[in-house]
Amino acid sequence: MHLKTPRSGEFLLLLETGKQTMKELDEIKEELKIDLNAVATPEGLDLIDTKFLGKQGKINQLFKTLPIKTDPKLGKQINDLKKDIEAQIAEKLDYILNSSKTATFDVTTPGKEQAEGSLHLITQAIAEIESIFLRLGFVRRRYPEVETDWYYAEGLNIPKDHPARDDQETFYVGDNTVLTAHTSNGQLREMELKKSPPIKMINIGKTYRRQIDATHTPMFHQFEGLVVDKDINITHLLGVTEYFAKAYFGQDRHTRLRPHHFQFTEPSFEIDITCEVCSGTGQVDKQNCKVCKSGWLELGGAGMVHPNVIKNGGLNPEECSGFAFGWGVERVLMMKTGLPDLRMIYSDDIRFLNQF
């Protein structure tokens, strides 16, 4: 430790003004020297600061007890001492703060592990889908998964003897009740709820089909959009589709409509989105792309709501029109992540769940 030594002129002055005063100043200096030698922390230094320079400190005591008024030099001496103490404390503080006394450690030691759980891929996909449609002003709904024949089929313009009924894909729980194979029951339910246009909803829910293979599980999820208002037209369906595709899959993706047929929409469309693997060209290294059909992947069905469905929902098809779509959550998830087998999504293995 390096301390400032007092200058010799100061001692001469003190000798002249009286030995008593000089002794007191000396004592303070000596005490400070001992204190500073002993102190090792900024907090300890704060105490020394208070002891010498505080309101009740030793320097202030000197000002109170010594005859400063009769001896102007004396005042200067004390002030000099004060400055000297301030300087020494500052120097010591600087030394303490900058001399690293903390033990060094191996900064590459692994950090202490914290519990880390995971939200399921489906939850993440639904949250993302929901947020995209909420940005567009849709309201999210949830409608029954066990449903009556009216909401599931008859009211959606699928009469009792229609071939679409015997596709063997539907689970029945009663003579007149099914597990929904699509989320379109939400269309009628929403129209009944709102009673009049406008309608702009997204119904996300579980759906069920009697199928199991690499691209089908008996339970899966769909999101159903429905927009009904005065003069809703095909370009609006295109607008929402394109917005979703770009927001969910990426800015460079495009969509197209192809003619299709569903009982509850007229016209009906199949919506395709450009394939990411081949960038919509259908070719990878001069070979046909293995993922898509000529550059396009099927996203799902959509269409303009059939006037009978609007009527069955209690609205007047002469006064409003609408579009609807029903797409698979797992399907868009697989398209986005490249997961090869839908059944993987339903694995309960934490080593799988952990990855997302």
Partner 1 sequence: MDIVITDSALRKFLETNADCETIAKDVSLCGPTFDRLRKIEEDTIYEIEVITNRIDTASAMGVARETAAILSQYNIPAKFINDPYLEPMKFQDGLSKQFHFNIEKNTVIRFTAISIENIHIKASPEETQKLLENCGLRPLNNCIDITNELTLLYGMPSHVFDLDKLAAQSLTIRESIKGEVITTLDDKKHTLEGGDIIIEDGSNRLVDMCGVMGGQVAEVDEHTKNILLIVPVYDSKKIRKTSLSAQKRTLAAQIYEKQPDPDLCLPVMSKAVELIKIRAGGRVSSSLFDYYPGVRKPKLIKLDFDWLNRFVGVEIKREDVISILSSLGFGGTIEENSLICSVPGWRYHDINIREDLAEEVARIYGYFRLPAILPSVNLPAEPKNLLLETEFKSKTFLSDIGFHEVYNSSLVSLSLLEKTLVDPSNCIKLKNALSSDYEYLRTVLAPSLMENYKSNQGKINDRVDILEIANCYLSDSGQELPNEVSTLCLMSSSGYLETKGILETIFRKLKVNDFSFKTTSTPKPFFNPSTTADIFSGKQKIGEIGTVKPVVLRNLGIQGEPTLAEINLVNLVSKINQKYVFSPISDYPAMMEDITITSKQFLGDIIETIKNTSQLIKNVQYLSSFQDKHTFKVSFESLERNLNQTEINDIKEIIQSRFKV
Binding positions for partner 1, 212-241, rule CB under 8 A? 212, 217-219, 227, 229, 231-236, 238-241
Q: Minimal distance in Å, beta carbon 202 to partner 1?
A: 11
Q: Minimal distance in Å, beta carbon 47 to partner 1?
A: 25
With beta carbons less than 8 A apart as the criterion, state whether 48 and 88 touch.
no
Closer Cβ to partner 1, 84 or 229, answer by number = 229
Q: Minimal distance in Å, beta carbon 233 to partner 1?
A: 3
d(CA 302, CA 270): 6
Judged by DSSP in three states, 74 sits in helix
Site string for partner 1, 251-290 (x = CB under 8 A): -----xxxxxx----xx-xx--------------------
Q: Minimal distance in Å, beta carbon 26 to partner 1?
A: 46
Q: Minimal distance in Å, beta carbon 166 to partner 1?
A: 7
Q: Minimal distance in Å, beta carbon 170 to partner 1?
A: 8
Q: Which of 274, 306, 309, 328 binds partner 1 (CB under 8 A)?
A: 306
Q: Does 304 bind partner 1 (CB under 8 A)?
A: yes
Angle between helices 58-65 and 72-98 (to 10 degrees): 180
With beta carbons less than 8 A apart as the criterion, state whether 333 and 339 touch.
yes
Binding to partner 1 in span 327-346, by CB under 8 A = 345-346
With 0-12 / 13-18 / 19 or more C-beta atoms within 10 angstroms meaning exposed / middle / buried, residue 334 is: buried
Spatial CA neighbour of 143 closest among 242, 72, 223, 59: 223
Binding to partner 1 in span 160-219, by CB under 8 A = 161, 163, 166, 171-174, 176-177, 179, 198-200, 206, 208, 210-212, 217-219
* CA 351 to each of CA 72, 336, 341: distance values in angstroms, whole numbers, following the listed order: 84, 21, 17
Dihedral sign computed on CA atoms, order 18, 20, 22, 25: negative
With beta carbons less than 8 A apart as the criterion, state whether 270 and 301 touch.
yes
Q: Which of 294, 337, 338, 341 binds partner 1 (CB under 8 A)?
A: 294
Binding to partner 1 in span 48-87, by CB under 8 A = none
Binding to partner 1 in span 123-162, by CB under 8 A = 123, 127, 136-137, 139-140, 142, 144-148, 161
d(CA 141, CA 138): 9
